Structure 1
Amino acid sequence: MNSEYEQQLKDAEQIVNAYGKILAQLDAGNYGHPVSLLPYPRDEIKSAIQLLLWELEGEDKDICNSLAQSYVYLAQFIPDDEAEIIAEGQRFMTSSNFDDGHIEEADEAARIINRIKLEMEEMILDVRKFMRA
């Protein structure tokens, strides 16, 4: 293995570890997280996960599954303003004094969540390409 590739693997591990720390801090009940929370750009994290999955070649199923799951969760990192819309929509829907005047905000939050779900489905298909086992 050449030293440039070894450095790419080290960098990928660093990126994925930093991303994992962010995931561990998040509330699993939220569907949309501000992209500004990510320690690296989404595409950089995706590439790092892809490289590690390719390198592992399915050797450790638990690690591969964890990486694949983390890859799919990237879809939940959305523009900050959209994450705020989802948070507001969730507050409206769970409020004990729900106000019909907030239906539009709740609808917009639902549209964003549906888009996230679709992207997650696409990312499931995408990540399988990098799991060689």
Structure 2
Amino acid sequence: MMFIARFNKLIRNKILWSIFAFIVVLSFVAWTTQTGGPQAAENENRLGTLDGKAVPPAEFQAAYFNSLLATSLMFGRPLQVTAQVDSVLRTMAWRRLADLRALADRELSVCADEVVAAIR
């Protein structure tokens, strides 16, 4: 009977529950925190390099989507992306990224009239 009364006091102790909650929060923070710093995360998420510079996934996905969109518009219907089509689209995306980076290095720009003429 004495054991039950003592256990009841332990359960109602706010300090004990505060320490337990702190340990739980600290363990979740430590568990979800990525280690290695920003350089490790950047190397982990990159798809490859282009002229010695890492290509972020968002930039490659934008180039891939633009290649898919251009090809779909060229054929006049949505493409069914198979393994072979995906390979060609990835090649087109890498070429697009290389061209865009080369243009940025040379500081070339396009005016609105040239874009309208290319669309027509």
TM-score (norm 1): 0.26
| Higher-RCO chain (CA-CA 8 Å, sequence separation at least 6) | 1
Flag the structure with larger Rg: 2
TM-score (norm 2): 0.29
